[in-house]
Structure 1
Amino acid sequence: MEGNRKVAILGGGHGAHAMSADLTSRGFSVNLYEMQEFKSNIEKLFETQTIEAEGIVKGKFKLNMVTSDIGKAIDGVKYILIVTPAFAHKNYAQLLKGKVKRDQIIVVYPGAFASLLFKTVFGEEECPVIAEANNLPYDARISAPCKISIFGRNKINIAYLPAEKGVELIDDMRSIHPYERVYEDVLEAGLSIVNPAFHAGPCLFSVNSIENWPKRSFFLYEHGVTPASVKLNVKLDKERKNIGSKLGYKLTPIEDFSGLKEGYQWQDLYMGMHGNISLTPISGPHDINNRYFTEDAPYGLVPWSFIAKAVGVETPIIDSVINIYNIIHERNWWEIGRNADDLGLSGMTLEEIKEYVKTGKK
């Protein structure tokens, strides 16, 4: 089997299970890695090495290996596919430092500026190409040990660090997923994530209702989407677009996701969110530690703000939301989240930042 058909998938959750089954079904040799401290969560998979899938992918699929030995997992593979929540990215970057070869390619699903973080952790040593997708490729849930239900595929885009490597890599990588668009660079990719500007208003203005569950039911898109909450979303989106404009991008993530036209008003967004039949039945979130808060803020809003400061754009609404979340969570998301040190952009001019994401060199 050719080297480009050998992959390592790092992570043990829903997305990693789905990707392992899907790629194996399409003839890839898959090494699945999970950290030793989380091995007990998928203990049966370590024993059977087999995933049973239902939905758009059907069958039982024997993986090449399931291991907690990172050296074995990435040995001889071309692609290292990291399918984990954003809070785990730094641990994986530290785990892989010094172990990844120059000709291997790391892909993070979804990225949220993970490529900049990995580059910062790896340093200027022989750093491989790092790519990041803007979403998970699957809607999937683990239904039982070693069993995954794959309900559908998501359209995903990709970006590369260095950006100039995308042209030579994208055709081969489309054998893994049919990436629709190659972003100009990883900054455009990270600024194009939908959720931080989609969840913030309804979540922030619904904190009391969320904390009162299960005393009363709560459905974010039914109860939390109000004229006031979507007005906040519009302001967040405009600030994010201002950052993109300063960097030379025309960002349309909300429009792309919701089908709205450019220049949409809050009334349009309200109807698109509150009246969306695929969204309104979704129950929750049911506590303030849900990922709609604890992932969107530190790995979406926080890096948006730091990038804005680096290029001279003011973001008073984004900053206010983060500061309020700091209070209700009793944490400092500015420090915990993907901050300026993680991004590696401190002290750089706009021109230097653009050159860095293009070439990977400072």
Structure 2
Amino acid sequence: MKTIAILGTGNIAQTLAIDLKLNGHVVRLYAPEYLGDRINNLLESPKLESVGELVGQATLDLVTTDIDKAVTGADYICIAVPGYRHVEYAKLLKGHTTASQVVFTFNACLASLVYKKIWGDDPNCPIFADTDLPPFSTRVIAPGRIQLFERHLGGIAFFPASVAEKYYDEIYSEFYAFPKLYKDVLECSLSLINPCVHPGACLVNLSNIEKPDTNFFLYEHGFTPSGIKIDLHLNEERLQLGKALGYDDLHALEDFAGVQGKLKWEDLYAMGHGCYALTSIAGPNSIFDRYLTEDVPVDLVCWSSIAAQIGVPTPVTDALITLVGVIHGEDWASKGRTAVELGLSGKSASQIVKFVREGHF
């Protein structure tokens, strides 16, 4: 049994909370006061219920807006918030941890480096662990009630990579049995699936996403050949960046689609229309959904910024970043998760790889 602090109150956070509690762990849930009803409901009644692939009810050990109460003495700290909130949470968490704690970020695009840059050389800097997927496809369907559609544990990586030998077996047996251990957080970040799945399909379906009277389902309705062809280009540019950095086995999307060899648009079309866990998920119904506010300014900007720095062209990725920035009224190329935010500005490919492996340049 571990003591686990979960920071966040969204789909993944609440599902993590009930899943880990049902598995016998001590579970604390934290969220800032400004979230209003989203945290107030849980403060009043710290009970969660799950239906679907996970059926059960559980009462959390603590729901709090006090970060110290949430994380003091916790073995693991799970940060389950959208990628664009990681800087906020890194600043919030700094000064409240110990060097023996492990901080997890899910569906993380080098989030560990965002946290490390803010921690700097603080002796109480924890160990960081990034994953390439959240543990499930899930949705909060009512206050205190979640529906889990599918479990899909992916891979995990540690920063620095050199600590994996010490921590991986314990986490595998006592937290989640992540089936793959990546060489480092850079390989993990380049194995993300969402940035090569959501953006193209969303871009060609903006009119449906913005219609308040449309019951829109991205995979069921929005996975059309034109959007998928954009996604294939995003995927190809991801692979080229990985190759330039020395990672040749970046086939997470191909594996997810059940394909060996080069992906075709028909493969992704079949994946989107043939998987219950995907087609059952409604939305997005706003251009400010995380499919566009996380996958583009966090993930695609991260890849594009590093690629530009080491001389790898990413024309389709860059064009999509520009267009999504236009609809958001933001310059995501400069305001997203750039090499500067990651502490990698001016570094060569070999220096970047050395840093994620050893923790220093």
- Settle same-fold status: TM greater than 0.5: yes
Residue aligning to 2:65: 68
Question: What code does the residue aligned with 2:301 have?
Answer: V
Specify whether residues 40 and 320 from structure 1 end up closer, same or farther in structure 2 by C-alpha distance, changes over 3 A only: same
Q: Which runs of 5+ in 2 are unaligned?
A: none
Work out whether 1:300 is the aligned partner of 2:299.
Answer: yes
Partner secondary structure for residue 343 of structure 1: coil
Residue aligning to 2:262: 263
Residue aligning to 2:32: 35
Report how many residues are paired.
Answer: 358
What is the CA distance between 1:290 and its match in structure 2?
2.3
Residue aligning to 2:126: 128
Specify whether residues 10 and 103 from structure 1 end up closer, same or farther in structure 2 by C-alpha distance, changes over 3 A only: same
273-282 or 182-191, larger mean C-alpha shift? 273-282
Residue aligning to 2:318: 319
320-329 or 219-228, larger mean C-alpha shift? 219-228
Distance in 1, Cα, partners of 2:45 & 2:221: 44
Map Cα deviations across residues 205-237 of structure 1 (whole Å, 9 max, x no partner).
2223433453x6644334433333222222111
Question: What code does the residue aligned with 1:253 have?
Answer: A
Residue aligning to 1:139: 137
User: Percent identity of the aligned residues?
Assistant: 39
What is the CA distance between 1:274 and its match in structure 2?
4.7
Specify whether residues 267 and 286 from structure 1 end up closer, same or farther in structure 2 by C-alpha distance, changes over 3 A only: same
Map Cα deviations across residues 60-119 of structure 1 (whole Å, 9 max, x no partner).
323222111111211111211111111221111001112211111111122122101001
Cα pair 2:72 2:96 within 8 Å, conserved: no
Cα pair 2:4 2:26 within 8 Å, conserved: yes
Specify whether residues 34 and 269 from structure 1 end up closer, same or farther in structure 2 by C-alpha distance, changes over 3 A only: closer
Cα pair 1:302 1:337 within 8 Å, conserved: yes
Distance in 1, Cα, partners of 2:354 & 2:56: 46
Residue aligning to 1:246: 244
Report matched runs for 1:279-298 at 5 Å: 279-280=278-279, 282-298=281-297
Partner secondary structure for residue 341 of structure 2: helix
What is the CA distance between 1:261 and its match in structure 2?
1.8
Residue aligning to 1:79: 76
Partner secondary structure for residue 245 of structure 1: helix
Specify whether residues 152 and 230 from structure 1 end up closer, same or farther in structure 2 by C-alpha distance, changes over 3 A only: closer
Distance in 2, Cα, partners of 1:168 & 1:355: 19
Residue aligning to 1:95: 92
Work out whether 1:109 is the aligned partner of 2:106.
Answer: yes
Cα pair 2:49 2:144 within 8 Å, conserved: yes
Work out whether 1:165 is the aligned partner of 2:163.
Answer: yes
Distance in 2, Cα, partners of 1:198 & 1:349: 29
TM-score by length of 1: 0.91
Cα pair 2:33 2:39 within 8 Å, conserved: no
Specify whether residues 154 and 242 from structure 1 end up closer, same or farther in structure 2 by C-alpha distance, changes over 3 A only: same
Distance in 1, Cα, partners of 2:20 & 2:276: 31
Distance in 2, Cα, partners of 1:271 & 1:148: 27
Specify whether residues 101 and 283 from structure 1 end up closer, same or farther in structure 2 by C-alpha distance, changes over 3 A only: closer
Aligned-residue CA RMSD (Å): 2.1
Map Cα deviations across residues 236-281 of structure 1 (whole Å, 9 max, x no partner).
1111000111112121122011112222233433444355565455
Specify whether residues 211 and 18 from structure 1 end up closer, same or farther in structure 2 by C-alpha distance, changes over 3 A only: closer
Specify whether residues 223 and 83 from structure 1 end up closer, same or farther in structure 2 by C-alpha distance, changes over 3 A only: closer
Partner secondary structure for residue 340 of structure 2: helix
Partner secondary structure for residue 57 of structure 2: strand
Cα pair 1:310 1:345 within 8 Å, conserved: no
Question: What code does the residue aligned with 2:170 have?
Answer: D
Question: What code does the residue aligned with 2:32 have?
Answer: M
Question: What code does the residue aligned with 1:79 have?
Answer: Y
Cα pair 2:257 2:267 within 8 Å, conserved: no
Cα pair 2:195 2:295 within 8 Å, conserved: yes
Partner secondary structure for residue 340 of structure 1: coil
Distance in 2, Cα, partners of 1:228 & 1:149: 31
Partner secondary structure for residue 233 of structure 2: helix
Cα pair 2:29 2:64 within 8 Å, conserved: yes
Cα pair 1:49 1:63 within 8 Å, conserved: yes
Distance in 2, Cα, partners of 1:46 & 1:281: 30
Question: What code does the residue aligned with 1:265 have?
Answer: K
